[in-house]
């Protein structure tokens, strides 16, 4: 990123190859819309170019990137809310949500558990889901998550515990739903 | 360590990133407290399960789009570092945000009308001149509308492109650039909403034979039945009788979607 900041724009491709998958997974876990997530990934990399002057090489690049990703996601949500209802309705009808139903290949018990876990994660409130996605899927350190979420490291740890409790409750509720 | 204190360290314990002292203290607590031990085991299983969830992969289209946009960005940078033409310098003043673009368009319109009105009263310009200035202003506004539509239709975000298409509704029917952009959207845009909306916007350009030919050619190229149905409806609205052979072919095409075949049959009944 330091090279990009120094004007070597082509180095952005290196960052793209390194991070676009994890960013995509973050967005798709948050909004469950593949197409929108790809748009947002693209947006993040061009925001990096636009705001490259604000990057501090002393700070974690990952934390900076996810701060941008969060802002892109928030801006997009606001913009979507402000859109005319007609367009919004079409958009919602046409988006391709990530399937929540377990596929036929997920017949083995362990795979069923994973499918259930995925559904439980998708049912979590956005703030809890985001925390688990950052901590578990993106492999971010708690210090980095604290920077992204603008809170203390201790707060992140407590919130991760609470999110796990909520995930457990949702998981067992879903299990009961399926059994009954 | 108390039960409450232990909760804070659990996730690091599952990830095996806890410091040695804290790990010993936590394990000591878990050994003595059955409730915390059971909770740690239950949540720990879910924690490990999360890392086993399959990752969603982006489509190859994302990489293509990224490199195209990066190329365009670098090209723009190189052009601006060389100084650029006076048109490029002038274009740099055009704002990037649609809201500002609309604001600027409106401001230019108001300024233009005011100047025109002021000059008229000051110099007693006759009605003919005023009408000609108004026509010029209309032309400028139409040009700006065209710029906004074309610029939005090239955006990465599908919702921005949808906005662009809604601007295209207000374009002049003789505006071939907007027509070309709409046809490009119909044939290549990855988003179904944008394609359907672009078909709808083509009504403005219905009188142009290019539109009618392009619509007929586009039907078999479309992968989405919804877009195909929208195109068939457009042909009916335009009363395009030359589309009859193409529609007849579609009604017998076994590879076509059932609802598309039915719509083609419906269209045939209206056009024949």
Residues of B in contact with A114 (CB under 8 A): 49, 52-54
pLDDT at B154: 74
Chain B interface disruption, residue of A7, A13, A38, A72, most B CBs within 10 A: A38
Interchain contact A50–B (C-beta under 8 A): no
* pLDDT reported for residue A52: 79
Judge: B46–A171 Cβ closer than 8 Å, yes or no: yes
Judge: A20–B74 Cβ closer than 8 Å, yes or no: no
Only one residue has tokens 């925001």, namely A47
Q: How far is CA B54 from the centre of its chain?
A: 29
Give the one of A91, A118, A154 whose C-beta lies nearest to B159's C-beta: A91
Chain B residues touching residue A113 (CB < 8 angstroms): 49
CB contact under 8 A, B10 and A161: yes
Q: Which residues of chain B have pLDDT under 70?
A: 77-97, 99, 120-128, 130, 142, 156
Integer Cα distance of B45 and A114 in angstroms: 11
Q: Show residues of chain B in contact with A26, CB under 8 Å.
A: none
How close B65 gets to chain A, by Cα (Å)? 8
pTM of the model: 0.52
Helix ranges (DSSP H) in chain B:
3-14, 20-32, 34-52, 60-81, 86-91, 98-123, 127-153, 158-168, 176-188, 192-201, 209-221, 225-237, 244-251, 258-271
Chain B residue nearest residue A9, CA to CA: B74
| Per-block mean pLDDT, blocks of 10 residues, chain A (180 long) | 64 88 92 89 87 82 91 82 46 42 47 85 92 89 91 91 93 86
- With beta carbons under 8 A apart, name residues in chain A contacting B8: 154, 157-158, 161
Instruction: Determine the distance in angstroms separating the CA of A52 from the nearest CA of chain B, rounded to an integer.
Output: 14
Distance CA A128, CA A132 (A): 6
> What single DSSP character describes residue A99?
P
Q: Does A77 touch chain B (CB under 8 A)?
A: no
Q: Report pLDDT for A133.
A: 92
3-state DSSP assignment of residue A97:
strand
């Amino acid at each position: 990123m330091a090279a990009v900041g120094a004007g070597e724009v082509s180095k952005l491709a290196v960052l793209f190859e390194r991070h676009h998958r994890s960013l995509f997974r973050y967005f798709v876990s948050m909004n469950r819309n593949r197409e929108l997530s790809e748009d947002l990934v693209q947006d993040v990399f061009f925001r990096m170019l636009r705001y490259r002057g604000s990057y501090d090489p002393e700070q974690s690049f990952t934390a900076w990137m996810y701060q941008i990703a969060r802002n892109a996601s928030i801006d997009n949500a606001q913009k979507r809310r402000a859109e005319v209802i007609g367009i919004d309705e079409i958009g919602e009808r046409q988006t391709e949500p990530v399937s929540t139903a377990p596929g036929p290949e997920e017949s083995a018990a362990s795979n069923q558990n994973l499918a259930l876990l995925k559904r439980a994660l998708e049912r979590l409130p956005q703030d809890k889901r985001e925390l688990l996605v950052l901590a578990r899927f993106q492999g971010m350190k708690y210090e980095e998550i604290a920077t992204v979420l603008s809170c203390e490291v201790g707060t992140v740890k407590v919130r991760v515990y609470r999110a796990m409790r909520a995930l457990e409750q949702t998981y067992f509720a879903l299990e009961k739903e399926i059994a009954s | 360590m108390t039960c409450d204190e232990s909760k804070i360290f659990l996730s690091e314990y599952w990830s095996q990133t806890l410091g040695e002292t804290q790990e010993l203290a936590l394990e000591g607590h878990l050994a003595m407290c059955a409730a915390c031990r059971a909770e740690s085991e239950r949540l720990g299983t879910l924690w490990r399960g999360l890392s086993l969830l399959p990752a969603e992969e982006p489509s190859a289209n994302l990489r293509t789009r990224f490199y195209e946009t990066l190329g365009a960005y670098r090209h723009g940078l190189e052009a601006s570092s060389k100084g650029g033409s006076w048109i490029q310098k002038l274009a740099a003043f055009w704002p990037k945000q649609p809201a500002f673009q609309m604001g600027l368009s409106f401001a230019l319109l108001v300024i233009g009308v005011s100047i025109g009105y002021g000059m008229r009263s000051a110099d007693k310009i006759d009605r003919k001149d005023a009408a000609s200035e108004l026509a010029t202003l209309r032309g400028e506004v139409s040009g700006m509308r065209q710029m906004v539509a074309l610029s939005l239709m090239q955006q990465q975000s599908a919702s921005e492109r949808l906005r662009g298409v809604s601007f295209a509704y207000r374009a002049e029917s003789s505006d071939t650039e907007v027509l070309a952009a709409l046809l490009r959207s119909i044939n290549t845009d990855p988003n179904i909403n944008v394609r359907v909306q672009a078909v709808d916007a083509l009504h403005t350009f219905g009188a142009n034979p290019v539109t009618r030919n392009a619509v007929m050619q586009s039907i078999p190229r479309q992968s989405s039945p919804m877009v195909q149905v929208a195109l068939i409806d457009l042909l009916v609205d335009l009363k395009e009788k030359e589309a009859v052979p193409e529609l007849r072919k579609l009604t017998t095409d076994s590879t076509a979607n059932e609802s598309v075949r039915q719509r083609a049959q419906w269209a045939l009944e209206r056009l024949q």
